[in-house]
Amino acid sequence: MTRKPHGDFLRASRWYAASVAGRTNLRVVRPNMEPSLEPSLPASATPPPPDAELVIAARAGDRRACFLIWSKYAAMVQRLVRRFLGPGPDYQDVCQEIFMRIFKRLGELREPAALAGFVVSVALGVARNEVRRRRIRSIVGLAPVETLPQVPVSSQQGEAREALRALYRLLDTLGPEDRSLFIARFVEKMEISEVAAAHDLSLSTAKRRLARLVERVNARVKASPVLREYVGPIGQGGGT
Amino acid sequence: MKDDRTPAQQVCERLGDLLTAAVPDEQRAPDTRQWTAIEVELDRHGARRWWRWPALATAALVLVTSGTWLIARRPLAYRAEHCALATDGTLTAGGAGAIAFTDGSTIALAAGTRLHVEPLPYARGAEIALDDGEATLTVIHRANARWAVTAGPFRVDVTGTRFSVHWSKRRGSFRIAMQEGEVHVRGGRLAGDTILRAGQVLASSTGEPVPAPSTEAPSPSPPADAAASPAAPPPTRTAPPPWRRKTADPRETETPHPTSPALPELGPQVRPLPIVPTPSIPPPGEPSSAPRPSGPRRITIAPDGSLGNGISGFAWVAAAPATTLSSPVTSEEGASLARLAPKDGELCVSGTMAGLHCVNAGLPSVRCNWRHNWGVQIGFLIKTDQSAWGERAPNAIAVDYHGRSNTYRLNVHRHGDPDAKLYCIYDYESGKAAKPSMFKTECWADTGETLPDFESVDSFNLMLPSGMEYAAFRYCVSGIRLLP
């Protein structure tokens, strides 16, 4: 790999001039760096390599491949986490933890091309753990339950905002696993096979648990006037 | 969705849509600060992952070894009688003072004598800096013993003997009288090592040439005429003893040293400590037995980092923003630039540097964040007038260094050139004579302008460039020679 010239004479000169003032006439100007020395990341004009290549390179310790994986999936992970937890102040920390876990566990990925599913799987797992942590914190009194999660107040209409608040309350009553299944299946619109893979379940088990989840959610919707009103006539029938 | 959806599933989907709408797909590019945080964690994780268990085992081993080593490294203890100890470590004999070491060696001090005692590691001996007065040493001979007395510009190396040494700071007079054994004396106007044996006396005073050692008989030691005695042959000049060659000589310079006590002007504690000389590594093509006036000139570095031996300037260390220095601990300029002082005769830096971020790696169009992550430099800024190199510019320079196996680069800068314009030697090898014709402005491709000469060079540095991986580093410059 070629090396470009550079130096730190500027600061050395400045420092020297300050330390031996009067002894020298060293110039204090910013070094004229070559254009090619300017920081070039994260700009990248070329399309990123396929996932399989990125995974192989990242496993070999290529930091640039890690960066490309992050830049490709950061938005998706962030969106998933915010939907899972609700937009709180610390979702960035959760996202960071997710990518740390992804890069640590890349060696477990049997099929490098299946990176997207792997990312979702890890993201859901970390989000579940975060929900558990929040529950424990609420139990020991470190954080009141009603503040978790906070409900967005952006452009939602009043009814939808109330429904959203009620929905998060409903999700809080589910276990982390069921919450994760709900997010994967009904929010991220994943196929059942993808849901099964992301939760390390067999297809049949995933179907059974989803069916139970649907029943449970419907039962709680019926018990919630806000949600019952929000879903309208389709919520009146019940059954699966 | 599918037609076979049940109403219950439709309820869930409706709720899912609610959440989807509440947190829509993110259109903005991700915040790169998150990546920065991840990268920092990856660096830490990488270090932990690779080093965790080996590090624990190594730490345990190091603990045991260092404990043993520290015990073995303990210097000689000594007790001073009739002496006053100043805060700067100076011992002053109030009357007839005495210092007794645990190995049985003793120093008798005349009244008013001032000196410093610096016991050496491994209980090998001590270095005595005689500031003024007279001391009589009785050194017990032991294998690997190292004793030395410095007095003004003179240095006396001892293995096991008895002798008196006198140094008058005011008059600049030096006198050594041998009673038993032999010593090596050098410094002042002595061209090399002078061996003195029992019965011989060597004396010098300010501005006078050092006379040939006489053979007077100092009381109470015989013989009266040592020169005539086979036991006391005429003084001979020879190479320093092997162990001395690796030891920094506080007074050693290649150019004749004036006998006047010019060095104490720096203060009693500021003794120029040359970087470890490397006479055993002659530069390629240069005979090791070159005549002294045309031999290599070694740059000396004072404890405060100032350059010496005909050159004025100082040593410094500079680190890129992506480099973290653990030693030296810096305070100026955002903890990335500091004056560098020698330690144990070497200029050393250590720390960690982040890996480079590059695009188009392996292609001619490769672009990396060099500007923020170029590495670390041990540099030498010298006076920027036409006499930057003292009396004359060298024809070549040689930098001795050691450190982790890597590609090191030697850079020079000419006075008047833009700051960013450097001439460099890529993959510079330790001790190699670097001639001007070897420096190119694009040394990585061996192209560009060639350095015409060293006349206008006002700074040079040994750089450890950053690499693609996060790395810990430590490297030291142990000597700089200017070759005629």
CA distance B439 to chain A (A): 12
The answer to whether residues B335 and B254 belong to one domain is: no
Looking at B70, B99, B130, the residue that finishes a domain is B70
Instruction: Kindly determine whether residue B8 and residue A41, on different chains, have CB atoms separated by under 8 Å.
Output: no
Can you tell me the distance from the alpha carbon of A200 to that of A58, in angstroms, rounded to the nearest whole number?
Answer: 24
Instruction: Write the residue in A156, A167, A240 that is nearest to B15 by C-beta.
Output: A167
Would you state the pLDDT for residue B439? 92
| Counted domains in chain A | 1
In a domain, B174, yes or no: yes
How many CA atoms within 13 Å lie on the side-chain side of B430? Answer: 15
- Is residue A226 domain-resident? yes
- Indicate whether B9 belongs to any domain: no
In a domain? residue A113: yes
Query: B427 in a domain, yes or no?
Result: yes
Identity of the residue in A40, A43, A79 whose CB atom sits nearest the CB atom of B23: A79
Our CA-based measurement puts residue B334 at a distance from the nearest CA of chain A, in whole angstroms, of: 11
How much is the pLDDT for B44? 72
The answer to whether residue A153 sits within a structural domain is yes
Co-location of B379 and B441 in the same domain: yes
Residues B185 and B99 in one domain: yes
Domain of B193, in residue numbers:
78-266
Domain presence at residue B133: yes
Give the nearest partner residue to A12 out of B26, B316, B445, using CB atoms: B316
Candidates B4, B323, B370, B462: best to mutate against A (most CBs of A within 10 A) is: B370
Do the domain assignments include residue B334?
yes
Q: Which amino acid is at A50?
A: P
Q: Kindly state the DSSP code that residue A183 receives in the 8-state scheme.
A: I
Least confident of A58-67, A197-206, B87-96, B277-286: B277-286
Answer whether B163's CB lies under 8 Å from B182's CB: no
Distance from the Cα of A176 to chain B's closest Cα (Å) equals 16
Q: Do residue B390 and residue B262 come from a single domain?
A: no
What tens-digit pLDDT sequence spans chain B (484 residues)? Answer: 445 778 888 899 989 988 888 888 766 667 777 888 888 887 776 655 555 677 788 888 888 888 887 777 777 888 888 888 887 788 898 888 889 888 888 999 998 899 988 888 777 788 899 999 999 998 888 777 888 999 888 888 886 788 999 888 887 888 888 888 888 888 877 777 788 888 888 887 654 444 445 544 433 333 333 333 333 333 333 333 333 333 333 333 333 333 222 222 222 222 323 333 333 323 333 333 334 445 777 888 888 777 777 777 788 888 887 788 877 876 544 445 677 888 877 888 888 888 777 776 655 566 777 777 788 888 887 765 555 676 677 889 999 998 877 788 999 888 888 877 888 898 898 889 999 999 988 887 777 889 998 888 888 889 888 877 777 788 999 888 888 8
Distance from C-alpha of A183 to C-alpha of B20, rounded to nearest angstrom: 10
| Stretch 173-212 of chain A: residues touching chain B, C-beta under 8 Å | 182-183, 185-187, 189
Contact B384 A26 (CB under 8 A): yes
Nearest Cα of chain B lies from the Cα of A128 at a distance, in angstroms, of: 17
Q: Which residues of A touch B367 (CB under 8 A)?
A: 36, 38, 40
User: Per the domain annotation, does A228 fall within a domain?
Assistant: yes
Q: Does B231 touch chain A (CB under 8 A)?
A: no
Residue A21: inside a domain: no
Interface of A with B in 110-149 (CB under 8 A): none
How far from chain centre, in Å, is Cα B480?
A: 10
CA B318 distance to own-chain centroid:
16
| Cα angle for residues A188, A191, A194 (degrees, 5° grid) | 90
Decide if B420 and A185 are in contact by the 8 Å CB cutoff. no
Q: Is residue A156 part of a domain?
A: yes
Q: Count other C-beta atoms under 10 Å from residue A165's C-beta.
A: 19
**C-alpha B286 chain-centroid distance:** 24
Partners of B359 in the beta sheet?
A: B367
Give yes or no: residues B347 and B447 share one domain. yes
Buried b (16+ CB within 10 A) or exposed e, B141-172: ebeebbbbbbbbbbbbbbbbbbbbbbbbbeeb
> What pLDDT is attached to residue B258?
30
Looking at residue A196, what is its pLDDT? 93
Total count of residues recorded for chain B: 484
From the number of C-beta atoms within 10 Å of its C-beta (0-12, 13-18, 19+), residue B180 rates as middle
pLDDT at A216 over 60: yes
More confident residue, B248 or A51: A51
What pLDDT sits at residue B354?
81
Residue-range definition of the domain harbouring residue A112 = 51-235
Find all residues with CB under 8 Å of A35, minimum gap 6, and list them.
none
| Element housing A196 (H / E) | helix A192-198
Q: What is the DSSP letter of A186?
A: I
Q: How close A185 comes to chain B (CA, Å)?
A: 8
Q: Which residue of B has its CA nearest to A6?
A: B420
pLDDT band at A38 (very low <50, low <70, confident <90, very high): very low
Asked if B203 and B220 sit in the same domain, the reply is yes
State the CATH number of the domain containing residue A83. Answer: 1.10.1740.10
The residue of chain A with its CA nearest to that of B42 is A100
Residue range B349-376, pLDDT digits in tens: 888 888 777 776 655 566 777 777 788 8
Structure ipTM: 0.72
Which one of B70, B92, B126 terminates a domain?
Answer: B70
Cβ separation B10–A167 shorter than 8 A: no
DSSP calls for A56-110: HHHHTT-HHHHHHHHHHHHHHHHHHHHHHH-S-TTHHHHHHHHHHHHHHTGGG-S
Q: Residue A5 and residue B420: Cβ atoms within 8 Å?
A: yes
At A225-240, the pLDDT tens digits run: 988 888 887 656 544 4
Interface probe with A: pick from B353, B371, B406, most Cβ of A within 10 Å: B371
How open is the CA angle A184-A189-A190, to the nearest 5 degrees? 65
pLDDT of residue B418: 80
Calpha distance B118→B327 (Å, rounded): 25
Residue B115 and residue B127 in contact, taking contact as beta carbons nearer than 8 Å: no
E strand or H helix at B84, and its extent? strand B78-85
Residue B93 within a domain:
yes
B391 & B468 share domain:
yes
A-chain CB neighbours of B337 within 8 Å are 8, 11-12, 15
* pLDDT reported for residue A157: 60
**B32 in contact with A at a CB cutoff of 8 Å?**
yes
Residues with Cβ within 8 Å of B67's Cβ and at least 6 positions away in sequence, in order, are: none
Q: Is residue A38 situated within a structural domain?
A: no
Residue A150: predicted pLDDT: 46
Q: Kindly state whether residues B124 and B167 are assigned to the same domain.
A: yes
Q: How far is CA B347 from CA A133, B61, B222, B243, B405, in A?
A: 50, 28, 47, 21, 17
Backbone φ and ψ of B24, nearest 5°: -70, 170
| CA-based torsion, A9, A15, A19, A21: positive or negative | positive
Domain assignment present for residue A106? The answer is: yes
Which of A26, A63, A79 faces B26 most closely, judged by CB atoms? A79
- The more confidently predicted of residues A84 and B218 is A84
What average pLDDT score do residues A91-102 get?
90
Q: Say if CB B336 and CB A11 are below 8 A apart.
A: yes
Check B22 against A24: CB less than 8 A apart.
Answer: no
* Predicted pLDDT of residue B158: 84
Pairing of strands B367-368, B358-359: antiparallel
B115 and B222 in a single domain? The answer is yes
Position A39 pLDDT exceeds 50: no
Contact A12 B374 (CB under 8 A): no
Mark whether B457 and B412 lie in a shared domain: yes
Contact B465 A10 (CB under 8 A): no
How many structural domains is chain B composed of?
3
Residue B153: the pLDDT is: 84
Q: Is residue B110 part of a domain?
A: yes
Domain presence at residue B127: yes
pLDDT at B365: 62
The C-alpha atoms of residue B469 and residue B352 are separated, in whole angstroms, by 11
Neighbours of B122 (CB within 10 A): 14
**What CATH code is carried by the domain that includes residue B238?**
2.60.120.1440
Question: Do residue B226 and residue B355 come from a single domain?
Answer: no
One domain for residues B84 and B60: no
